[in-house]
Amino acid sequence: MYYRFNLDNSISFRDVELGRDPLICIPIVSLEKRIIKRLNNLKNEIKLIEIRFDYLYNQYKDIFEQINQIKIPYIFTFRSYIESDRGKNAIRIDDETRIKYYLKAIEQDASLIDFELSSIKINKNFYKLIEEAHRKNVGVIISYHNFQETPKPQVLLDKIDEENSYNADVLKIATMVKNLEDIITIDNVTFIARQKFRKPMMTMGMGQIGKLSRISAVAFGSDIIFAHLGKKSAPGQLSFSQAKKIIDYLYKGD
């Protein structure tokens, strides 16, 4: 039995299906040989990875040759330094360069792309990126990150409304969790937005306490949980083995 707010009909982007069974996504912040080897060993279990190109940019300008060796569906993310989890270590790359790589990802095999709500509000060229992604059946995740706090529910709902107004396929919020009230906020916002928009969602809390929200939000409509293979891309991520055990037990059991 499922204890989860599924969509009535799942939505597919290339070879990734969202809205029914929750997916575990592995963020790739390093392409060391051991990481590639582990991904290949787990390719029958891992259904989705996220290429965090803002981590990899200075190492792999030929990133798509590297990705093609992995052969796992992926989200392509070239995070803006404004909303980067890397803080002072975030690379400062202009939007036009970011858009160029997003377009390459669309032409290659990316199933989804992820960029920030703040980016499209600043640079209208992201509109064209959305149009091209939709033309190629690539899902568009528009995201909002807050590394300081979890804002009040209405603030987060307004952010999700804005994401939807730009024709996002997947609505995403990630905020810093400091107490249990913040977890309740994230879960409640997830449930309300799922009811309103009936779209795939990604909602999560960051930080040590935020670990709980990464699991609980799945019940209320969050479709993807990030988990790591050794290197986290945000504070509070569970390991892949931890996430798989919990998701299988809570959301895929009889």
- Active-site residue list: 145, 172
Q: Which residues lie below 8 Å from residue 52, measured CB to CB, with a gap of 6+? A: 27, 28, 29, 77, 79, 233
Q: Per residue in 109-136, is it b (16+ CB within 10 Å) or e — as a string? A: bbbbbbbbbbbbeebeebeebbebbeee
Q: Where do runs of H (alpha helix) occur along 42-124?
A: 53-56, 63-67, 95-107, 117-122
Helices 211-220, 180-197: inter-axial angle, 10-degree rounding:
30
**190 contacts 201 by C-beta, under 8 angstroms:** yes
**26 contacts 228 by C-beta, under 8 angstroms:** yes
**143 contacts 81 by C-beta, under 8 angstroms:** no
Cα separation of 207 and 196, whole Å?
A: 28
**91 contacts 54 by C-beta, under 8 angstroms:** yes
Kind and range of the H or E run holding 162: helix 153-165
**57 contacts 79 by C-beta, under 8 angstroms:** no
Question: How many contiguous H segments (helices) and E segments (strands) does the chain have?
Answer: 10, 11
